């Protein structure tokens, strides 16, 4: 197995196992401390990352009798200013996601106060520190990590001696939070956070990260020197800190991305392809021009030895990559296909090129939009449609009384609506219908019929806010009913794994659970990626080339989603419009393939293919590169101990 360059223990497993393991560890600490006659003290975090842990603790309390009556908790942070009952408040988050479901005493649950006058904040921070000391210190601290490497809200530049304090939020952090606040302008500019020194005084620390978007900062945090600009690097000095990451978040670690650089590996065909592609990039040569010295000088002598010489190896990898390229003539024809689209534009954004080709090939296609996407519609779009409704009523004498009542109600609400406030039902419905009409217009761009659009409107999404309910039996049943009705031979699903409780990943979970119950013949599953990134060429099973005209048509379909054009409500860190991201991404993939020495195409989409029942997550990391299991109980504190 490959060695590592990691300066802190890293455990790589799926999120569900991470959540169960940490919950079990917390339960063990609670029982052990109580047996010692003292109160257990937990450091808690918010956001999507720990939700699975909290759900498992709630289950343990309900089913196993785990009591929190003597537990003391301290949360990492809170926005400032922030009313405790706001939907954005971490006080409210903790109540809704944990405290209201267990027997913890209210006086034992501490969250930094975000609702104090500014002149009282400094004293409150000092009191928070004193309360932690009085409780005996934190036994177990849960952490997430931001894209800047912040833990808590310790932004770049936070010192190792910092304590609980009021801090200005970094622009990247505020952009990441924009979705929760329905726009970056609504995100507070400050927060109260535990300091680095406070966090490092915890006896045991578990940092959790999931998703491709965390991969780069995870590698930086565990493989590079401690740096005040990346607060998570301070954890390298802790006596008992462990990073728990899913395979997607581990993707940039040296032992995963290039394991041959750090030691011996068990070569597989997939790993050979990845290594040769990497070498081609490293030396700036096309695959067929790689020579033995290139292999020997870049830690790949063992791979060269397996094949005897560079020529046969280069040829095998070149042919394997060529076989991935499928133009229209090599794509399915006459098949029953379901395209699952988490939001009403993911189909055209992510796979508009192949969708057009599949339609041309005479396949029987249903595009199933899993959620309404209504929270991603600006209020001004609603006002525009209300104006249209009133004008339509005047011109064609529709049921004016009802239209007028609804319009008055909606306009009145929008006038008094507070930033981040959940929309009333009529507004949610109007926004839903806007997205549906755009989705139909999008597929009509390819000549498809409007009855090929199916709107599932899964219940988990229908909260009116960014935070969604867990996937439940009704979500699975709706998905299963569609599978039973259409009997697909092939399905397309979003393979984005960036957030364990994000819409794309939750939609993927609903599909997987429905497929597990599906009694029909197992369909082939093609995974696409969304607006944020593309599958790497070495991971992709299918590369679909697009001509300039085909890419133009795909972009035209994206334009039909007018509510998402010019400025999307939740753009993330990327300021480009969706069509610009797509154009850059698809042309970048074809350019990458060209540099490998393969045929040159104008643009390309990439897909990973599995049979139903084969989990995507299990395949995202070479099995030869994975470490052992998760440690149980308190581990040895020697920093040089074996990495899991």
Task: Please determine, for residue 1, whether its predicted confidence score (pLDDT) is greater than 70.
Answer: no
Asked whether the beta carbons of 271 and 624 are under 8 A apart, the reply is yes
Q: How far is 564 from 432, CA to CA, in rounded Å?
A: 13
Q: Quick: pLDDT tens for 66-124.
A: 999 999 999 999 999 999 998 889 999 999 999 999 999 999 999 999 999 999 999 99
Find the mean pLDDT for residues 10-17: 95
Res 420: pLDDT? 72
Q: Tell me what pLDDT residue 281 has.
A: 97
- Contact assessment for residue 438 and residue 344, using Cβ atoms and an 8 Å cutoff: yes
Band (pLDDT 50/70/90 cuts) for residue 615 is low
Structure tokens at 195: 């300091």
Per residue in 429-482, pLDDT (tens digit) is 999 999 999 999 999 999 999 999 999 999 999 887 667 788 999 999 999 999
| Alpha-carbon span 477 to 498, nearest angstrom | 25
- What pLDDT shows up at residue 588? 96
pLDDT for 498 beyond 90: no
Non-local CB neighbours of 67 within 8 Å, separated by 6+ positions? 30, 61, 103
Mean pLDDT, to the nearest integer, of 52-59? Answer: 97
Residue whose C-alpha is closest to residue 367's, from 183, 137, 557, 220? 557
Report the alpha-carbon distance of residue 78 to residue 166 in Å, rounded: 10
Alpha helix segments (H runs only) across 284-338: 292-296, 301-307, 310-324
State how far the Cα of 64 lies from the Cα of 28, in Å rounded to an integer. 13
Question: Which residues are CB-contacts of 20 (< 8 A; sequence separation ≥ 6)?
Answer: 56
Domains of the chain and any CATH numbers = 25-164+191-254 (3.40.50.1360), 260-324 (no CATH), 333-376+420-618 (3.40.50.10320)
Q: Answer yes or no: 155 catalytic.
A: yes
Catalytic residue among 78, 129, 155, 617, which?
Answer: 155
Q: What is the mean pLDDT of the chain?
A: 91
Mean of the pLDDT values across residues 381-386?
Answer: 95
CA dihedral 27, 101, 55, 509 (to 10 degrees): 170
pLDDT for position 508: 93
pLDDT of 607 > 70? The answer is yes
Bridge partners of residue 280, in order along the sequence: none
State residue 237's pLDDT score. 96
Closest CA to 221 of 138, 141, 144, 140: 144
pTM: 0.85
Residue 394: its pLDDT value, please?
85
Q: Do the beta carbons of residue 481 and residue 454 sit within 8 Å?
A: no
Name the percent of the chain lying above pLDDT 70. 92
What is the model's pLDDT at position 573? 58
Would you state the pLDDT for residue 642? 27
Q: State whether residue 395 is helix, strand or coil.
A: helix
Residue 306, both tokens: 């397996």
Strands (DSSP E) found in 316-458: 336-341, 364-369, 453-455
User: What pLDDT band is residue 572 in, cutting at 50, 70 and 90?
Assistant: low
What are the Cα distances from residue 131, in Å, to 74, 134, 198, 204, 644?
9, 5, 12, 19, 35
558/553 Cα distance (integer angstroms)? 9
Range from 40-49, 187-196, 230-239, 391-400 carrying the lowest mean pLDDT: 391-400
- The one-character DSSP state at 80 is E
pLDDT at 635 over 70: no
Q: Decide if pLDDT at 321 tops 60.
A: yes
Structure confidence at residue 487 (pLDDT) = 98
CA distances from 594 to 182, 274, 286, 460, 533 (A): 41, 16, 9, 43, 19
Q: Which of 355, 362, 340 is nearest to 445 (CA)?
A: 355
pLDDT(500) > 70: no
Helix (H, G, I), strand (E, B) or coil at 230: strand
């Amino acid at each position: 197995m490959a060695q590592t360059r990691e300066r802190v223990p890293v455990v790589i497993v799926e999120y569900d196992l991470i959540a169960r393991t940490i919950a079990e560890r917390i339960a063990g600490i609670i029982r052990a401390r109580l047996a010692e006659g003292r109160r257990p003290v937990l450091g808690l975090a918010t956001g999507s990352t720990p939700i699975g842990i909290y759900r498992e603790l709630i289950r343990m309390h309900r089913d196993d009798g785990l009591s929190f009556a003597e537990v003391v908790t301290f949360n990492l942070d809170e926005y400032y200013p922030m009313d405790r009952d706001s939907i954005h408040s971490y006080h409210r988050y903790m109540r809704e996601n944990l405290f209201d479901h267990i027997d913890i005493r209210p006086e034992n649950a501490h969250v930094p106060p975000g609702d104090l006058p500014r002149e009282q904040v400094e004293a409150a921070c000092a009191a928070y520190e004193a309360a932690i000391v009085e409780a005996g210190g934190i036994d177990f601290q849960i952490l997430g990590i931001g894209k800047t490497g912040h833990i808590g809200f310790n932004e770049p530049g936070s010192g190792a001696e910092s304590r609980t304090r009021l801090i200005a939020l970094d622009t990247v952090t505020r952009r990441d939070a924009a979705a929760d606040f329905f726009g970056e302008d609504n995100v507070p500019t400050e927060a109260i956070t535990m300091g680095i020194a406070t966090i490092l005084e915890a006896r045991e620390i578990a940092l959790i990260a999931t998703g491709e978007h965390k991969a780069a900062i995870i590698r930086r945090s565990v493989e590079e020197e401690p740096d005040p600009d990346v607060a998570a690097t301070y954890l390298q000095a802790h006596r008992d800190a462990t990073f728990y990451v899913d395979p997607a978040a581990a993707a940039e670690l040296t032992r995963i991305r290039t394991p041959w650089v750090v030691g011996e590996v068990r070569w597989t065909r997939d790993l050979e392809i990845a290594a040769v592609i990497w070498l081609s990039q490293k030396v700036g040569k096309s695959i067929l021009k790689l020579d033995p010295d290139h292999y020997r000088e870049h830690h790949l002598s063992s791979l060269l030895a397996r094949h005897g010489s560079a020529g046969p190896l280069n040829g095998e990898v070149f042919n394997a990559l060529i076989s991935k390229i499928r133009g229209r003539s090599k794509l399915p024809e006459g098949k029953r296909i379901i395209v699952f689209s988490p939001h009403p534009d993911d189909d055209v954004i992510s796979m508009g090129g192949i969708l057009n080709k599949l339609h041309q090939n005479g396949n029987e296609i249903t595009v199933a939009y899993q959620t309404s996407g209504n929270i991603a519609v600006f209020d001004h779009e609603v006002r525009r449609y209300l104006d249209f409704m009133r004008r339509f009523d005047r011109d064609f004498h529709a049921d004016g009384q009802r239209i007028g009542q609804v319009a008055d109600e909606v306009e009145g609400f929008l006038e008094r609506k507070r930033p981040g406030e959940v929309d009333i039902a009529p507004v949610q419905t109007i926004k839903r219908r806007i997205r549906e009409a755009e989705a139909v217009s999008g597929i009509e761009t390819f000549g498809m019929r409007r009855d090929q659009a199916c709107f599932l409107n899964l219940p988990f999404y229908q909260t009116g806010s960014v935070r969604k309910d867990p996937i439940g039996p009704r979500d699975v049943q709706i998905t299963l009913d569609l599978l039973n009705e259409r009997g697909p031979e092939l399905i397309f699903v979003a393979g984005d794994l960036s957030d364990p409780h994000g819409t794309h990943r939750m939609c993927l979970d609903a599909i997987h659970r429905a497929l597990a119950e599906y009694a029909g013949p197992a369909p082939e599953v093609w995974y696409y990626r969304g607006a944020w990134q593309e599958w790497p060429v070495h991971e992709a099973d299918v590369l679909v080339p697009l001509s300039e005209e085909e890419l133009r048509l795909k972009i035209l379909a994206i334009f039909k989603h007018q509510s998402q054009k010019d400025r999307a409500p939740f753009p993330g860190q990327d300021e480009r419009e969706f069509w610009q991201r797509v154009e850059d991404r698809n042309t970048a993939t074809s350019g990458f393939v060209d540099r490998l020495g393969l045929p040159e195409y104008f643009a390309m989409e990439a897909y990973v293919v599995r049979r139903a029942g084969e989990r995507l997550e299990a395949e995202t990391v070479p099995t030869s590169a994975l470490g052992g299991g998760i440690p149980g109980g308190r581990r040895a504190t020697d920093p040089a101990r074996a990495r899991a």
